Protein backbone atom coordinates (compact mmCIF):
# COMPACT_ATOMS: atom_id res chain seq x y z
CA UNK A 1 0.00 0.00 0.00
CA UNK A 2 1.49 3.33 -1.07
CA UNK A 3 -1.40 5.59 -0.01
CA UNK A 4 -3.88 5.11 2.82
CA UNK A 5 -6.96 7.32 2.98
CA UNK A 6 -8.92 7.18 6.24
CA UNK A 7 -12.20 8.75 5.15
CA UNK A 8 -15.02 7.11 7.08
CA UNK A 9 -17.18 9.20 9.37
CA UNK A 10 -20.61 10.43 10.39
CA UNK A 11 -22.21 12.99 12.69
CA UNK A 12 -24.95 13.20 15.30
CA UNK A 13 -26.83 16.35 16.27
CA UNK A 14 -28.32 17.10 19.68
CA UNK A 15 -27.57 17.95 23.26
CA UNK A 16 -25.10 15.43 24.67
CA UNK A 17 -27.43 14.39 27.48
CA UNK A 18 -30.19 13.59 24.96
CA UNK A 19 -28.22 11.80 22.24
CA UNK A 20 -27.91 8.05 21.83
CA UNK A 21 -24.80 6.66 23.54
CA UNK A 22 -24.68 3.57 21.31
CA UNK A 23 -24.49 5.79 18.21
CA UNK A 24 -21.86 8.01 19.87
CA UNK A 25 -19.81 4.98 20.86
CA UNK A 26 -19.82 3.84 17.21
CA UNK A 27 -18.72 7.33 16.16
CA UNK A 28 -15.81 7.28 18.61
CA UNK A 29 -14.90 3.79 17.43
CA UNK A 30 -14.95 4.79 13.77
CA UNK A 31 -13.35 8.23 13.99
CA UNK A 32 -10.78 7.57 16.72
CA UNK A 33 -10.05 3.87 17.03
CA UNK A 34 -10.35 2.86 13.37
CA UNK A 35 -8.34 5.85 12.12
CA UNK A 36 -5.65 5.12 14.69
CA UNK A 37 -5.56 1.39 14.02
CA UNK A 38 -5.48 1.73 10.22
CA UNK A 39 -2.71 4.32 10.49
CA UNK A 40 -0.72 2.05 12.81
CA UNK A 41 -1.26 -0.99 10.61
CA UNK A 42 -0.13 0.57 7.33
CA UNK A 43 2.46 3.02 8.68
CA UNK A 44 4.78 0.24 9.89
CA UNK A 45 5.26 -1.09 6.35
CA UNK A 46 5.59 2.42 4.92
CA UNK A 47 8.38 3.13 7.42
CA UNK A 48 10.16 -0.12 6.49
CA UNK A 49 10.04 0.89 2.80
CA UNK A 50 10.66 4.58 3.64
CA UNK A 51 7.85 5.47 1.27
CA UNK A 52 4.14 6.14 1.63
CA UNK A 53 1.44 8.68 2.30
CA UNK A 54 -1.54 8.78 4.64
CA UNK A 55 -4.54 11.09 4.37
CA UNK A 56 -6.78 11.35 7.43
CA UNK A 57 -10.17 13.02 7.14
CA UNK A 58 -10.93 15.49 9.90
CA UNK A 59 -13.10 18.58 9.64
CA UNK A 60 -13.19 22.32 10.14
CA UNK A 61 -15.04 21.26 13.31
CA UNK A 62 -11.68 20.15 14.75
CA UNK A 63 -10.61 23.72 15.48
CA UNK A 64 -13.24 24.72 18.06
CA UNK A 65 -15.68 23.27 20.58
CA UNK A 66 -18.95 22.09 19.04
CA UNK A 67 -22.06 22.37 21.16
CA UNK A 68 -24.88 20.18 19.84
CA UNK A 69 -22.36 17.96 18.06
CA UNK A 70 -19.86 17.51 20.91
CA UNK A 71 -18.70 13.98 20.08
CA UNK A 72 -18.29 14.74 16.37
CA UNK A 73 -16.24 17.88 16.99
CA UNK A 74 -14.15 16.16 19.68
CA UNK A 75 -13.32 13.13 17.55
CA UNK A 76 -12.37 15.35 14.63
CA UNK A 77 -10.06 17.27 17.00
CA UNK A 78 -8.45 13.96 17.94
CA UNK A 79 -7.82 13.15 14.25
CA UNK A 80 -6.27 16.59 13.70
CA UNK A 81 -3.94 16.42 16.70
CA UNK A 82 -3.08 12.75 16.14
CA UNK A 83 -2.16 13.44 12.52
CA UNK A 84 -0.06 16.50 13.37
CA UNK A 85 1.82 14.54 16.03
CA UNK A 86 2.55 11.60 13.72
CA UNK A 87 3.57 13.97 10.91
CA UNK A 88 6.17 15.44 13.24
CA UNK A 89 7.48 11.96 14.07
CA UNK A 90 7.81 11.24 10.33
CA UNK A 91 9.71 14.45 9.45
CA UNK A 92 13.02 12.62 8.85
CA UNK A 93 11.46 9.95 6.62
CA UNK A 94 9.99 9.80 3.14
CA UNK A 95 6.58 8.97 4.63
CA UNK A 96 4.04 11.73 5.13
CA UNK A 97 0.69 12.20 6.78
CA UNK A 98 -1.85 14.85 5.81
CA UNK A 99 -5.02 15.74 7.67
CA UNK A 100 -7.83 17.19 5.55
CA UNK A 101 -10.16 19.60 7.37
CA UNK A 102 -12.96 20.69 5.04
CA UNK A 103 -15.89 22.86 5.98
CA UNK A 104 -19.41 22.20 4.70
CA UNK A 105 -19.37 19.82 1.76
CA UNK A 106 -22.18 18.74 -0.56
CA UNK A 107 -22.73 15.18 0.67
CA UNK A 108 -25.44 13.26 2.52
CA UNK A 109 -23.91 14.35 5.85
CA UNK A 110 -26.42 17.18 6.38
CA UNK A 111 -29.41 15.02 5.55
CA UNK A 112 -28.28 12.30 7.96
CA UNK A 113 -27.57 14.75 10.78
CA UNK A 114 -30.71 16.87 10.41
CA UNK A 115 -34.02 17.04 8.59
CA UNK A 116 -33.48 20.75 7.99
CA UNK A 117 -32.18 22.11 4.71
CA UNK A 118 -28.81 23.87 5.09
CA UNK A 119 -29.40 27.55 5.84
CA UNK A 120 -25.80 28.71 5.72
CA UNK A 121 -24.94 27.74 2.18
CA UNK A 122 -22.54 30.37 0.86
CA UNK A 123 -19.47 28.36 1.82
CA UNK A 124 -20.22 24.82 0.60
CA UNK A 125 -17.73 22.92 -1.56
CA UNK A 126 -18.45 19.94 -3.75
CA UNK A 127 -17.10 16.57 -2.68
CA UNK A 128 -14.96 16.56 -5.82
CA UNK A 129 -13.37 19.93 -4.94
CA UNK A 130 -12.59 18.75 -1.41
CA UNK A 131 -11.16 15.42 -2.64
CA UNK A 132 -8.94 17.13 -5.22
CA UNK A 133 -7.71 19.66 -2.66
CA UNK A 134 -6.93 16.88 -0.19
CA UNK A 135 -5.18 14.73 -2.76
CA UNK A 136 -3.04 17.64 -3.97
CA UNK A 137 -2.12 18.50 -0.36
CA UNK A 138 -1.22 14.84 0.21
CA UNK A 139 1.02 14.77 -2.89
CA UNK A 140 2.81 17.93 -1.66
CA UNK A 141 3.28 16.47 1.83
CA UNK A 142 1.28 19.23 3.48
CA UNK A 143 0.40 18.37 7.08
CA UNK A 144 -2.85 20.32 7.65
CA UNK A 145 -5.04 20.98 4.62
CA UNK A 146 -7.98 23.36 4.99
CA UNK A 147 -9.69 24.05 1.64
CA UNK A 148 -11.05 27.54 1.01
CA UNK A 149 -10.09 30.99 2.28
CA UNK A 150 -13.19 31.35 4.46
CA UNK A 151 -12.51 27.96 6.04
CA UNK A 152 -8.90 28.96 6.72
CA UNK A 153 -10.17 32.05 8.53
CA UNK A 154 -12.68 29.98 10.53
CA UNK A 155 -9.98 27.47 11.44
CA UNK A 156 -7.99 30.16 13.23
CA UNK A 157 -10.78 32.39 14.55
CA UNK A 158 -10.45 30.88 18.03
CA UNK A 159 -7.01 32.53 18.26
CA UNK A 160 -8.50 36.01 18.02
CA UNK A 161 -11.69 35.77 20.06
CA UNK A 162 -12.40 34.31 23.50
CA UNK A 163 -13.08 30.55 23.44
CA UNK A 164 -16.43 31.14 25.12
CA UNK A 165 -17.46 33.38 22.22
CA UNK A 166 -16.20 30.83 19.65
CA UNK A 167 -18.23 28.14 21.42
CA UNK A 168 -21.38 30.29 21.37
CA UNK A 169 -20.79 31.09 17.70
CA UNK A 170 -20.48 27.39 16.81
CA UNK A 171 -23.72 26.68 18.67
CA UNK A 172 -25.55 29.43 16.75
CA UNK A 173 -24.28 27.98 13.46
CA UNK A 174 -25.44 24.49 14.47
CA UNK A 175 -28.86 25.78 15.55
CA UNK A 176 -29.27 27.72 12.32
CA UNK A 177 -28.29 24.77 10.11
CA UNK A 178 -29.94 21.91 11.98
CA UNK A 179 -32.96 20.96 14.07
CA UNK A 180 -32.61 22.33 17.59
Radius of gyration of the chain (CA): 16
- As a whole number of angstroms, the distance between CA 27 and CA 25 comes to 5
Q: Catalytic: 72? A: yes
Say if residue 111 is exposed, middle or buried (CB neighbours under 10 Å; 0-12, 13-18, 19+).
exposed
- As a whole number of angstroms, the distance between CA 31 and CA 38 comes to 11
Kindly name the residue from 72, 73, 78, 135 that is annotated as catalytic: 72
Residue ranges of alpha helices (H) inside the chain are: 21-28, 35-49, 70-89, 109-113, 127-140, 149-156, 163-177
Q: Which residues are catalytic?
A: 72
Amino acid sequence: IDILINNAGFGLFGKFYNTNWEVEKKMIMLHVLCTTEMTKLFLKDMIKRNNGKILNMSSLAAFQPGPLMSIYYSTKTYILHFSEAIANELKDTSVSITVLCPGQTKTDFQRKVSSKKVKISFNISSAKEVAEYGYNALKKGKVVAVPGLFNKILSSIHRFIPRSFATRLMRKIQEKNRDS
